Structure 1
Amino acid sequence: MTNENNAQSEPITLRLNAPPPARHVFNPIIRGALTELLERDEPYSIMGYHRWCGTEADRQAGSDFCSKRLGYRPDAGRIVLTSSTQSTLNMLLPGLVGTGGALAVDELTYPPIKGFAARHGIKLVPIRMDEEGILPDEFKEACTKYKPKALYPLSTLQNPTTGTMSIERRHEIVAVARQFGVSIIEDDIYSLIPENAPRPLSALAPEISWYLLGLAKSVAPGTKVAYVVAPSKESAERLFWPGVRATFWMTAPLSAALATHIIQNKSIFEILKAVRTATTARHRLVHEHFSQFEYRLGDGGLHVWVSMPAKLDGIALASRLEEKGVLVSTSEGFVVGDVPPPQAIRIGLGNPATDEMLAKALQVISNEIESHYIF
């Protein structure tokens, strides 16, 4: 059997929400950047030493990049480079919340946060949400009752619901966090593809915020670079340097150097533009195939949140789709606490190698769901 036939027999995975490939732009930019790096600097000068929190050039580039979202250029001393959002969270939770402490989260949230909390003995406090995200009154009530030390919100293109907080809601959430002395750990990883995402919570309350901006959902999953903007240089040093070296959070030197280079020469914005265009094309496929269904897909979103008709169970649907060669995520993994999971599935748009593969998978899903709708 040929490799091509093997590829065709593989299931189409829609469980991940990676950015769609934009090879025609990404490949020449990255090839050129690597060539320029290795011509300018000897390989050992790049890879022969740890970069720890990043070199001065890395942190300056991170400051420049984060300023596009924050609306101001943070001092480079506040910037820490890490290998990913996950590794960042694994450092911040014990440092900011600690064993026995409470962390407020969206009632449906990024699944790994549950594993990190369990690892560090942290209690998760789910906050009820509407179509924008967490409700200020519910957050205030949770602060009064459970006294969380930090809040972990996904304020732009929430995972999994795709909701985005209005700027008014962001001001309300910040006001509650300030009132109760709650640190904000803001994961802004989905914000770079939308054209006009609202300013982050961290821009409204920099003194209590830890701002996270990773490249995995906008450039490519394997970039393995994320930027952290701490409230101050001192707080960054306290949580990330020097006594916490014996962990896995540091960025690989070549990845850090490459990210710095494409930020400095601004070619990263060409990649973002290409990914944005590719994402828009995939959104058109969703609208074409799901026009009769109830679903949520925010501007620039990398996944779709599809509500199930009354007679259809999400787990049963996922099982049938797997039999047909399409893999989707059910809602159970996103739920915090013992509440019943919503009858919905999450469909990632970026992982299929081509639009044609995605269209094929969406048609399979559409056919399966349509058989349970009464139009």
Structure 2
Amino acid sequence: MTDTIWHPDLAQFPGPKYLALTRALREAIREGVLLPGVQLPTVRDLAWRLSVTPGTVSRAYQMATQEGLLAATVGRGTFVAAAEPRLGPTQALFVDREPQAAPGLLDLRSPQLPDVGQMPLFAEALRRVAGQVGADWRDYPTQREETALREAVRDWLGDRVLGPVTPDDIALTHGGQSGIGLVMFCCLRGDRPVVLTEELAYPGFRHAARLARAEVVGVELDQHGIRPDALEACCRKHLPQVLCVTTEAQNPTAVRMPEERRAEIVAIARRHELQIIEDDCYTVAESTLPSMRALAPERTWYVGSLSKTVSAALRFGYILCPTGRGEAGRLTAQHAFFALGRPVSDLCLDLFRSGQAVEIRSRVQSAFADRLKAIVNGLGAHDLVWQPGLPFVWLRLPVGWRTSSFTRTAEAEGVLLRSADEYALVHGRSPNAVRLAIAGQVPRARLEAAVDRLSRLLVSPPSELPV
């Protein structure tokens, strides 16, 4: 069926707008206003009609999908679900590839790796790999063949403070999200385990937890990251098994957790027997702070990938397992997919050994640094949080602006941003802020012009804001 014209009155439902919209969906379906098979408006279209953020609509659609009221089909849209139950996930996973923006819009919702000459280097590496194809490409890959690649990963991470690491501590994965999911499968037990995340966090944490049938609970943040008192309270109340945390580059707030706070979190994790997933996929260019893996090697699973520094298309990631748990991590990976496919593993090994992976990473970080300078120069007078080497910044909005109004007005000015509520849990708090990612594939002059438009909006909110 075609897209239905549905325009609910959210004023009749008290509370946050995403909950009001969820209730409106539930009521419309129950009363037969929305029939099974009816296609709902797109997230952006309904957000525009209701004068709310796309994140508000996305959260409502997600809640209704989890309840079985809606069904999301990649490439087709969101529909009122049929009566029979759905099996498996019911919504496409958030990834860093957004729907195509309208012509003329600058998309700052997700980072884009700059073109620093990766493609010729990849082609050169593929030619070298092609010359080494043998009979072992005919059979199933095995983890025994990954030993040299695990050694290369250890060397790749040599600039991080990770504590003692051996190749036996490492498990290889199909990207960072795959690594997070594998740790969940390895660590979670029982019918309804609990996973803790930061109250604003990368959505992939909660997707992986829910796929493992876990309940997700958010822990409050402050200017240094997770609050120890809030973590202690959550541990006492919920008896969690896993804590997901980003220490170097909290996504989306760009906060780096100081060493003292890391030590406090580790002490609480030990007291409550928590396993820690330390996500370092959005890694900073340089760090001398000890990682959670260095501070608590007996319980920290350090996850990283090449997606943000070399290529997201390779789908290559790694887990530094807790000391003595490397075999457990690799066995979990083996049960999931045997081992990495030979084309990916051989190509990545060549990129590491030739030094081209390091060369690409350096070029990418330099290009990101140049564009980050443009953003900081243009918005530095505002409440901006950023770090050298990160491909995104966190902008707290001034009095006079609401997140929904600012994102809509910015879009009208030709700039797409990601609102804070897209990182909040369903019942979590959402601050008045937005994340700006670096568009690495656009000319710097165009980025500067967009930042200038945003700066003018921040200091001069319109007298009549949409509500």
TM-score normalised by structure 1 residue count: 0.87
Deviations for 1:257-306, whole angstroms, at most 9, x for unmatched residues? 22222222333222222122112111210122113311111121111111
Measured in 1, the distance between the counterparts of 2:451 and 2:219 equals: 32
Partner of 1:343: 432
Match of 1:241 in 2: 331
Between 1:349-358 and 1:261-270, the stretch displaced more is 349-358
Tell whether 2:110 aligns with 1:21.
no
Gaps of 5+ in 1: 1-5
In structure 2, relative to structure 1, the CA distance for the partners of 1:319 and 1:361 (3 Å cut) is same
* Aligned equivalent of 2:105: 11
Q: Please tell me whether the aligned partners of residues 17 and 303 of structure 1 are also in contact (alpha carbons under 8 angstroms).
A: yes
**Runs of 5+ consecutive residues of structure 2 not aligned to the other structure:** 1-99
**Shift in CA distance, 244/51, structure 1 to aligned 2, threshold 3 Å:** closer
Q: Secondary structure of the equivalent of 1:105? A: strand
How far apart, in 1, do the equivalents of 2:319 and 2:231 lie?
24
Report the Cα distance in structure 2 between the residues aligned to 1:352 and 1:60, rounded to whole angstroms. Answer: 32
Instruction: Kindly tell me the number of residue pairs found equivalent between the two proteins.
Output: 363
The corresponding residue for 2:192 is: 100
Contact 2:247 2:256 in 1 (8 A): yes
Amino acid at match of 1:155: T
Instruction: Give the match for residue 115 of structure 1.
Output: 207
CA distance 1:352–1:226, change in 2 (3 Å): same
Deviation at 1:90, TM superposition (A): 1.9
Question: Which structure has more RCO (C-alpha within 8 Å, separation ≥ 6)?
Answer: 1
Task: After TM superposition, list the pairs within 5 Å mapping 1:1-375 onto structure 2.
Answer: 9-18=103-112, 20-24=113-117, 26-39=118-131, 41-42=132-133, 45=136, 49-51=140-142, 55-72=146-163, 74-98=165-189, 99-191=191-283, 193-232=284-323, 235-241=325-331, 245-246=335-336, 251-372=340-461
Give the Å deviation of 1:330. 0.6
Amino acid at match of 2:407: A
1:210 aligned counterpart, secondary structure: strand
Are the structure 2 counterparts of residues 81 and 10 from structure 1 closer, same or farther at C-alpha, using a change threshold of 3 Å? farther
Question: In 1, distance between residues paired with 2:130 and 2:163?
Answer: 32
Larger deviation, residues 61-70 vs 80-89: 61-70
C-alpha displacement of 1:345: 0.6
Q: Deviations over 1:21-58 (max 9, x none)?
A: 1424x34433332232223x027645764355861111
Contact 1:215/1:225 (CA < 8 Å) preserved in 2? Answer: yes
**CA–CA distance in structure 2, aligned partners of residues 47 and 221 of structure 1:** 26
SS of residue matched to 1:346? strand
- Residue 90 of structure 1 aligns to a residue in which SS? helix
Give the AA of the match of 1:57. Answer: A
CA contact (8 A) 1:127 1:135 kept: yes
CA distance in structure 2 between the aligned counterparts of 1:321 and 1:224, rounded to whole angstroms: 33
Distance 1:53 1:360, change over 3 A: farther
Give the partner amino acid of 1:23. Answer: V
* TM-aligned CA deviation for residue 94 of structure 1: 3.2
Distance in 2 (CA, whole Å) between partners of 1:250 and 1:365 is 46
Letter in 2 for 1:163: V
Residue 244 of structure 1: how far off its partner (Å): 5.5
Structure 1, 249-258 or 129-138: larger mean CA deviation? 249-258
- Distance change (3 Å), C-alpha of 1:196 and 1:88: closer
Deviation at 1:61, TM superposition (A): 1.3
Which residue of structure 2 aligns with residue 3 of structure 1?
A: none
Bigger-Rg structure (1/2): 2
Partner of 2:47: none
> What do the CA deviations read for 1:339-373 (whole angstroms, capped 9, x no partner)?
33101111111444332332233233223323229
RMSD value, Cα: 2.7
Aligned-residue offset at 1:246? 4.7
> What letter matches 1:208 in structure 2?
R
Mark the CA change 1:53 to 1:163 in structure 2 (over 3 Å): closer, same or farther: farther
8 A contact 2:254–2:386 mirrored in 1: yes
Is the Cα–Cα contact under 8 Å of residues 47 and 254 in structure 1 kept in the other structure?
A: no
Going from structure 1 to structure 2, the CA distance change for 1:116 and 1:243 (only over 3 Å counts) comes to closer
Structure 1 or 2: more helix by fraction: 1
Partners of 2:159 and 2:237 in 1: CA distance: 37
User: Residue 23 of structure 1: SS of its match in structure 2?
Assistant: coil
Q: Structure 2 vs 1, CA of residues 161 and 8 (structure 1 numbering), >3 Å: closer, same or farther?
A: closer
